[in-house]
Amino acid sequence: MNEKELKHIIDCNAEKMIEKLGLGEWQIEFNYEIPDGNDKDVTFRGCCGAHFQSKRVIITFDPRKLATEEKVISVLRHELVHLIVMTFRRYRHAAHKLFETTSLSTTDPAFVVLDAVFQSAIEEITYDICRILEKQ
Ligand SMILES: [Zn+2]
């Protein structure tokens, strides 16, 4: 899909979805350029770089991996649902602080494992919420 088509689909659907999900307090920016270093990531279709305290986010889409309108809407929904579960980032932030203020570091295997479990749980709850929303 080309960038213009992708942008059009986002323009037609984002506002309605943001309102439905109650994300009106967020400053949401959409980006259609592939971030550096993601050329070889075969799973990347979209990602969100969010700051939960200031409620600002940049959601990036990879036009090369989004072939249909249905897929674009699905990725848009997934990235927006990430904002709903963003409050769990407080746990990661606290764990980060804890490791930084002790003799451990965030490269410690204990932190790496905890962070992997955290990331996995975030993806699972995001998928579950999306599954529920898709049935409505
Ligand atoms: Zn995700």
H-helix or E-strand spanning residue 29: strand 27-31
User: Cα(78) to centroid of ligand 1, in Å?
Assistant: 6
The beta strand positions in 32-83, using DSSP E, are: 46-51, 56-61
User: Cα(82) to centroid of ligand 1, in Å?
Assistant: 7
Domains and CATH numbers, the chain: 3-134 (3.30.2010)
The predicted pLDDT at position 42 comes to 47
Positions of the chain with pLDDT under 70? 35-48, 50
pTM: predicted TM-score of the whole model, two decimal places: 0.84
pLDDT (tens digit, 9 = 90+) per residue, 77-92?
999 999 999 888 888 8
User: Cα(39) to centroid of ligand 1, in Å?
Assistant: 18
The predicted pLDDT at position 120 comes to 93
Question: If you count them, how many residues does the chain have?
Answer: 136
Q: Which of 125, 127, 133, 123 is nearest to 13 (CA)?
A: 133
CA distance 94 to 15: 32
H-helix or E-strand spanning residue 15: helix 3-20
Q: In this structure, what token pair is assigned to residue 41?
A: 């990531």
